[in-house]
């Protein structure tokens, strides 16, 4: 024994130490993330953390491991295993895209505008974010959620079970609309499909490029190939007057709007997100 002992850190000291490391690694919202890590591992709400209180050693040890993963730019949502969306905490794994706050605008539009008793088709459901949040808010509607990735469908199924939505949300494996049966028709089509151009992939932030599934991110033809193909396949499966909404990249609005008009869709409108950027194209069959 050398007589030395390490003093127990306070919560404030632990948070400051983690914050410094994360900031040095280029993590943008380091302060917020450190509070979230301590809160998640301790069960203490982040607003109630007592910075002068002694930190719990097991929380610090576990948190040090999480911070080490975060230093390699793994998204905190994958480390924690869940992410918020609308009223939900959804399970997320590296098999699914982490749902983005912008997509909540799309879900809100569907909750508002789906006709009573209507049927929604969600293409590329991933974690199930859109399908589940809309079905949860609108118990009168039903949803068919399609997804090409078997692994993502398993995550969506666990999220569906977690919120008890097995009766109203159906999940089906499908490459775009290939698995739809003849005559299956819907009142609204929603899709947040991959829309990032292949050329932009290398320049994405490391959290996205190195950890989120590429299958959920990129598409050929400047990112628009999948959305355009879906728009071509959709008409036989849309009731007359059915609504359609696509999430898009901020530079794609006008190109997609023009293409949709040429395909015969009407009332085509480009809508913006919280930052004032073009983010959705909406139209009517
Ligand atoms: C941008 S993510 C969106 C996930 C989820 N809808 C959301 O908003 O968080 C796109 C999803 O489309 C799926 N996908 C990619 N190509 C597809 C295809 N050809 N047919 C169906 N789904 C596809 C991906 O696996 C991924 O889950």
Q: Say what the pLDDT of residue 135 is.
A: 98
Domain assignment present for residue 3? The answer is no
Pair 147, 17 in one domain: no
- How many other C-beta atoms are found inside a 10 Å radius of the C-beta of residue 235? 15
**Full strand arrangement of the beta sheet holding 238-247:** 169-173, 142-147, 119-123, 186-191, 238-247, 278-284, 266-272
Burial of residue 10 (CB within 10 Å: 0-12, 13-18, 19+) is middle
Are 38 and 116 contained in the same domain? no
Number of structural domains (the chain) is 2
3-state secondary structure 50-113: CCCCECCHHHHHHHHHHHHHHHCCCCHHHHHCEEEECCEEEECCCCCCCCCCCHHHHHHHHHHH
pLDDT in tens, 222-247: 999 999 999 999 999 999 999 999 99
Question: Averaged over 25-31, what is the pLDDT?
Answer: 94
Q: Atom 2 in ligand 1: which residue has the minimum CA distance?
A: 216
113-143 tens-digit pLDDT: 999 999 999 999 999 999 999 999 999 999 9
Mapped onto helix, strand or coil, the DSSP state of residue 186 is strand
Domain C-terminal end among 19, 45, 72: 72
Please report whether residue 268 resides in a domain: yes
pLDDT at 149: 98
1 occurs within a structural domain:
no
Task: Decide: 124 in ligand 1 pocket, CB within 6 A.
Answer: yes
Is the pLDDT at 25 greater than 60, yes or no? Answer: yes
Q: Where are the alpha helices (DSSP H) in the chain?
A: 11-24, 30-42, 57-71, 76-80, 103-113, 129-137, 150-162, 206-209, 225-233, 253-262
The per-residue pLDDT for 4 is 45
Give the residue numbers spanning the domain of 173: 82-284
| Residue at which a domain ends, from 72, 102, 119 | 72
Residues 94 and 16 reside in one and the same domain? no
Atom of ligand 1 nearest to the CA of 103: 8
Judge whether 276 lies within some domain.
Answer: yes
- Determine if ligand 1 sits within 6 Å of the CB of residue 126: yes
Nearest to 223, CA basis, from 250, 251, 191, 196: 196
Domain check: are 65 and 106 in the same one? no
C-alpha 14/C-alpha 157 separation (Å) is: 37
Residue to mutate, 193, 200, 230, ligand 1, most ligand atoms under 8 Å from C-beta: 193
94 shares its domain with 226: yes
pLDDT of residue 5: 53
Distance 44 CA to ligand 1 centre (A): 35
CATH value at residue 276: 3.40.50.150
Q: Tell which atom from ligand 1 comes closest to the C-alpha of 98.
A: 9
Whether 161 has a pLDDT exceeding 80, the answer reads yes
- Give the pLDDT confidence of 34-69 residue by residue, as tens digits: 999 999 999 999 889 999 999 999 999 999 999 999
């Amino acid at each position: 024994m050398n007589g030395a002992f390490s003093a127990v850190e306070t919560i404030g000291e632990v948070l400051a130490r983690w914050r410094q490391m994360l900031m040095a690694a280029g993590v943008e919202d380091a302060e917020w993330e450190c509070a979230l890590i301590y809160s998640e591992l301790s069960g203490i709400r982040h607003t109630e953390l007592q910075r002068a209180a002694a930190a719990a050693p097991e929380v610090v040890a576990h948190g040090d491991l999480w911070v080490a993963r975060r230093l390699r730019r793994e998204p905190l949502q994958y480390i924690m295993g869940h992410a918020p969306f609308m009223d939900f905490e959804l399970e997320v794994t590296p098999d699914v895209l982490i749902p983005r706050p912008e997509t909540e605008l799309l879900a809100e539009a569907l909750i508002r505008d789906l006709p009573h008793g209507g049927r929604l088709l969600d293409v590329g459901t991933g974690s199930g974010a859109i399908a589940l949040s809309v079905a949860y808010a609108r118990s009168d509607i039903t949803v068919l959620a399609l997804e090409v990735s078997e692994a993502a469908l398993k995550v969506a199924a666990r999220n569906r079970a977690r919120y008890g939505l097995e009766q109203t949300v159906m999940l089906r494996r499908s490459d775009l609309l290939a698995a739809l049966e003849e005559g299956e028709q819907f009142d609204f089509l929603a899709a947040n499909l991959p829309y990032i151009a292949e050329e932009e992939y290398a320049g994405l932030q490391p959290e996205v490029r190195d950890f989120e599934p590429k299958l959920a991110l990129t598409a050929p033809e400047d990112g628009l190939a999948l959305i355009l193909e879906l728009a071509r396949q959709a008409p036989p499966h849309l009731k007359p007057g059915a609504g359609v909404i696509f999430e898009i990249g901020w530079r794609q609005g006008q190109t997609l709007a023009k293409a949709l008009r040429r395909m015969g869709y009407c009332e085509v409108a480009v809508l913006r997100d919280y930052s004032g950027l073009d983010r959705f194209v909406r139209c009517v069959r």
